[in-house]
Copies of this chain bind each other. A is one copy, B any other.
Amino acid sequence: MSLSSYRSPFSEQTHDHSLCIIEALEIANKLCTQRGARLTPLRRQVLELIWQSHKSLGAYKILEKLQNTQGGRAAPPTVYRALDFLLKQGLIHRIASLNAFIGCLHPDSPHVGQFFICQTCGNTAELEAPHLHADLLQQAHQLGFKVEKSTIELMGVCPHCQSLVSL
C-alpha cells in the first residue's frame, strides 16, 4: 500500500502527477480509517495542497492557498494544526533545512525520511535506504546513543536540472 515509486519526483514533466495526488489521498484515507484518525476536510485539503507538486511547501504558502480557496478566513494556527496531524500520521514530512513540508511516499510503514532536494527546481525525492539507516544506527550504537528521530537532507542538483545546465 505504498505509493508507486516508478514516478520519479525529478521527472515531473514526464509523469502523470495527478496519479500521485490521487494515490496519496487514497492511502491517507485508508490509513486514517484503519487508525480511527479523522482526516477532516481541512486536513485533507492541506494534504492535497502539499501534494500539488514534488516540491516542499512552506506553512505560509499553504495558508495563502487555503485563503484563496476558502475565502480568506484561515489563520496560521489552522495550518499548523493540520500539519501537526499529518506529521503525526506520517502522511507528510518536515524538511528542516527549508522549513517546509512534503508528502510522504510510503506513509504506511514507519521509516526515517531521507531526502534529496534539488536546489534548482526544488523537487525533492524521498529515499528508502534501509542499509544506510542501519549504518547510522550502528554508529549510534558504538557511541551508546539511542536514536529517536533522524533528519537527513541532501541538497544538490537533480539529473534533470544538470542536463539543462549542460545545454
Q: Check A88 for interface membership: any CB of B closer than 8 A.
A: no
CB distance from A58 to the nearest CB of B (A): 14
Residue from A154, A156, A162 having most chain B Cβ neighbours under 10 A? A154
Residue of B nearest to A97 (CB): B96
Number of this chain's copies in the complex: 2
Cβ-defined contact, B162 with A157, below 8 A: no
CB distance from A91 to the nearest CB of B (A): 20
Interface residues of A in 138-167 (CB under 8 A from B): 139-140, 143-159, 162
Which residue numbers of A lie inside 8 Å of B, CB to CB? Answer: 10, 96-97, 114, 116, 118-119, 125, 127, 129, 131-132, 135-136, 139-140, 143-159, 162
